[in-house]
Structure 1
Amino acid sequence: MWVGSVGERGLHQALFEVVGRAVNAVLARGTGTVDVTLTSDGGLRVVDDGVAVPFEADDSPGLDAQLTSLQTESGPCGRRLALLGPIAVGPFVTNALSSRLTAEVRYGGRRHVREYVRGAPVGAPVTAGPATHDGTTIAFRPDAGIFETTACSFAVLAERFRQVAFLNRGLAVSLTDERPADGPRAVGFRFPDGVRDFVAALEAEAGAALGPDVIGFEHEDPRMAGAMEVALVWGGLSGVRVRGFVNSRCTPEGGTHVDGFRDGVTAAITSYAPGLAPRRIDELLTAVVSVNLDHPEFLGATRGLLGNAEVRLCVAEAVREHLGAWFEAHPERAAEVVRRIVRDGEPD
């Protein structure tokens, strides 16, 4: 029940629990790298250069506790927590579902290693030599007696890690696959412009000629106990492409952040062009709406819908203000946006 499946989806979730811990260790430092490797012998390895947690810690649960029991209070919390999968319960579940796991923590100039078999530690942590920088490595082999497959999809993982890199601009993520007979393949992701880069990529993938401006902003609002990062562009293809994320988790069903975005866009454009029909306003629009909340409330059977009521008003106000200011500062480009919307809404 912890990973939702014993198939490929559950296998990926087990990996996401370890990668999520690594991503949050990097975000706690502010910037850094997470390297994920699908090893040639069927294992998985996750290396980060984030904040290292000793196996035994005095002021918070140490790495050993995180790997052997459910820790509701461990690690970064709130808006600083990136949620990679729909469950996000921690790496203890990965350890329990692995035939073997090795954890290495680098801090204080030394490497400290501990082995686990099917979730249980084998012996005490040992000091294994010097370390040149802090960080953590977790290598594990999924238990073939539990999972129907122990082969991860390179394409699925690459797409998810790419999203996470878009949504956390201080983060670099690499994925290496050592399994192919003709040699390893690897991809790496880092996006200095965050969701602006995300929107540009979505437009390119759709085959659109990117418009002159990707409009973007960041805003923090204490009323929703969180922050938002929004980017949008009116491109050249019909249809609406709006993607919502909460603490780096995709919300395919939308929610109050996406509703607030649409409210704000409608308010800004109808203020600038009062005669425009609201139903046409989001035509040609590509956007990413990312919010990071201290206390996100997910709804629905798959937790793919954001329910925090206060988020809708906060996002709507911020979008209206920033988009309205952009219209005022760029009247010629704003007029072109309106012309595109009207032209697309005309009958053939």
Structure 2
Amino acid sequence: MSDATNPYTAAHIQVWEGLEAIRKRPGMYVGSTSERGLHNQVYEVSDWAVNEVLAGRAHHVDVTLEPGGWVRIAIDGPGIPVEAAGHAGGPALEELLTRMHAGPRRDGHRFVEVGLCGMGPFVANALSSRMTAEVRREGVRWVQHFDCGTPAGPPSAEGPTKGTGTVIAFRPDADIFGAAECSFDALAKRYRTLAFLNRGLSISLTDRRPPSERSERFLFPGGAKDFVAFIAAQAGTSDATNVFGFEHEDARIAGSVEVALMWSRTLTGGIHGFANSKPTPGGGTHVAGFREGVAAAINTFVRDRQLLSETDTDLTPDQICDGLTAVVSVKLDRPEFAGATRGILGNAETHESVASAVQERLVTWLAENPRLASAVVGRIAADPWPGPAGA
């Protein structure tokens, strides 16, 4: 077919930008227009709020599911800047909610990966029929309204206030999400995980929708060790050894490593990998390094105690990780993810960092806890389980 009979010109190309692009193809930004996408819309705002806490600009995050489909996310702190008040050094309120990728500067590797695509509150605003932002700052209460992502007007001063903080309330657009509703349990799982992975982070989730109003607060001073104990309890494990864990800063990866693990003779909770608090269900370099480090530590222990003969082959990672429940969390200045859903960590240097840290610390722990070590090795070698210390 010739160009003359079927001309193709620039008029045949449709270009969508910014707000329009998100509303035309919401699945590309929040994953779907079902409940899962609705939750990702919420995470775009709540993860931004969590980063404000981790950066030291707030102390806690409050998420509330309101009647009528509204979601309200509040943080304390001084309140974010407001353009109308002449605040400089943005992003200020309207910029945060109307510009792609606008958000607070990420200081180091402590930040949480925001939402599905990392675009923040702008995506939530674009997919809402209505959003209201309230900032209490420097004695003034500022309010700004948005319709389908577009400002209905500039921020307006609504009178004096004694408190400080920021509240973003939005109603997901029913023309996009239909009858989908937020699940308290699904959101609770996300916020519980964030609190486990960020020691000292306080998040509350409240459901004010009738008839089953409820509320839960998440705060775990034990970090990943508390996480492993929780996973094991959910799996029904009651005969586990003590939880082992450590945190490690490593300049080679411009980041940190936190690991917690335990073995059980009955059930396994599996290995759960995270990068900047984002789940990595496909694993990646951090999980591969963890498996290598655990195998090296166990094989060092059994060789030193001559529990294997010289002709025996080393125990494999699959053997050693049987019955294991573990959390492997890395936080990096520049995380690199593979795949469209960013579910696999690809930073090559992270493999060696995690492997060496796990091997070194696990070898020490096994030497200092010989009874627990014997229980672990007995489990791996399929010998009768001696049971945890004190049993």
Q: Report the TM range for the smaller structure's normalisation.
A: over 0.9
TM-score normalised by length of structure 1: 0.93
Which sits farther off after the overlay, 256-265 or 154-163?
154-163
> Alignment partner for residue 204 of structure 2, among 162, 170, 174?
174
User: In 2, are the aligned partners of 1:259 and 1:312 still within 8 Å (CA)?
Assistant: yes
User: How far is the alpha carbon of 1:238 from its aligned partner?
Assistant: 4.1
Which whole-Å CA distance do the structure 1 matches of 2:236 and 2:368 have between them? 28
Residue 7 of structure 1 is matched in structure 2 by: 34
Give the superposition deviation at 1:80: 2.1
Equivalent residue letter for 1:10: G
Which piece of structure 1 moves more, 286-295 or 40-49? 40-49
The residue number in structure 1 matching 2:15 is: none
Q: Is the CA contact (8 Å cut-off) linking 1:18 and 1:46 kept in structure 2?
A: yes
Q: Does 1:226 align with 2:265?
A: no
The whole-number CA distance in structure 1 between the counterparts of 2:51 and 2:139 is: 22
Contact 1:25–1:51 (CA<8 Å) still a contact in 2?
A: no
> Which of these residues, 257, 260, 285, is aligned with residue 324 of structure 2?
285
- Report the Cα distance in structure 1 between the residues aligned to 2:375 and 2:161, rounded to whole angstroms: 57
The answer to whether the aligner puts 1:121 opposite 2:151 as a matched pair is yes
The residue number in structure 2 matching 1:44 is 71
Among 241, 247, 272, the residue aligned to 2:270:
241
Which range moved further: 329-338 or 95-104?
329-338
Contact preservation (8 Å) 2:225, 2:245: yes
Write the letter of the residue equivalent to 2:191: F
SS of structure 2 residue aligned to 1:45: strand
* Partners of 1:95 and 1:154 in 2: CA distance: 21
What code does the residue aligned with 1:22 have? Answer: A
Task: Give the conservation status (yes or no) of the 8 Å contact 1:68–1:120.
Answer: yes
1:155-170 superposed matches below 5 A: 155-170=185-200
Cα pair 1:238 1:344 within 8 Å, conserved: no
- Which SS does the other structure have where 1:79 is aligned? coil
Other-structure match for 1:209: 238
Question: What CA deviation, in whole Å up to 9, does each residue of 1:25-80 have, x standing for no partner?
Answer: 11111772211111012111001124632123412321210100113564435512
1:136-172 Cα shifts (integer Å, max 9, x gaps): 1100111111222341111211111111111111211
Task: Measure the CA separation in 2 of the matches of 1:189 and 1:68.
Answer: 30
Shift of 1:83: 2.0
Flag the 1:134–1:344 CA change in 2: closer, same or farther, 3 A: farther
Q: What's the counterpart of residue 25 of structure 2?
A: none
Structure with larger Rg: 2
Instruction: Give 1:85 shift.
Output: 3.1
Percent identity of the aligned residues? 50
RMSD of aligned Cα (Å): 2.0
What is the CA-CA distance between 1:110 and the residue it aligns to? 3.1
Verify: 1:324 aligned to 2:363, yes or no.
yes
TM-score w.r.t. length of structure 2: 0.83
Q: How many residues were matched structurally? A: 345
Q: Tell me, what secondary structure is at the counterpart of 1:337?
A: helix
Q: 2:21: which partner in 1?
A: none
Could you say which residue in structure 2 is the equivalent of 1:260? Answer: 289
How far apart, in 2, do the equivalents of 1:158 and 1:303 lie? Answer: 22
CA distance in 2, matches of 1:188, 1:285: 28
Q: What amino acid does structure 2 have at the position aligned with 1:66?
A: L
Write out per-residue CA displacement over residues 175-226 of structure 1, whole angstroms, 9 at most, x where no aligned residue. Answer: 1111222x41122211111111000001101111153411110001111111
| Residue 251 (structure 1) aligns with | 280
- Going from structure 1 to structure 2, the CA distance change for 1:266 and 1:162 (only over 3 Å counts) comes to same
Q: Aligned equivalents of 2:40 and 2:108: distance in 1?
A: 21
Contact kept? 1:26, 1:33, Cα under 8 Å? yes
- Give 1:155's aligned amino acid: D
Residues 60/197 of structure 1: CA separation in 2 closer, same or farther (3 Å cut): same
Q: Aligned pair in 2 of structure 1 residues 98, 30: CA closer, same or farther (>3 Å)?
A: closer
Amino acid corresponding to residue 340 of structure 1 in structure 2: R
For the residues of structure 1 that align with 2:289 and 2:205, how far apart are their CA atoms?
35
Contact 2:232 2:269 in 1 (8 A): no
Native 8 Å contact 1:29 1:51 kept in 2: no
For residues 79 and 25 of structure 1, the distance between their equivalents in structure 2, rounded to whole angstroms, comes to 13
Structure 2 residues without counterparts, runs of 5 or longer: 1-27, 309-313, 386-391
> For 1:76, which of 98, 106, 131 is the aligned residue?
106
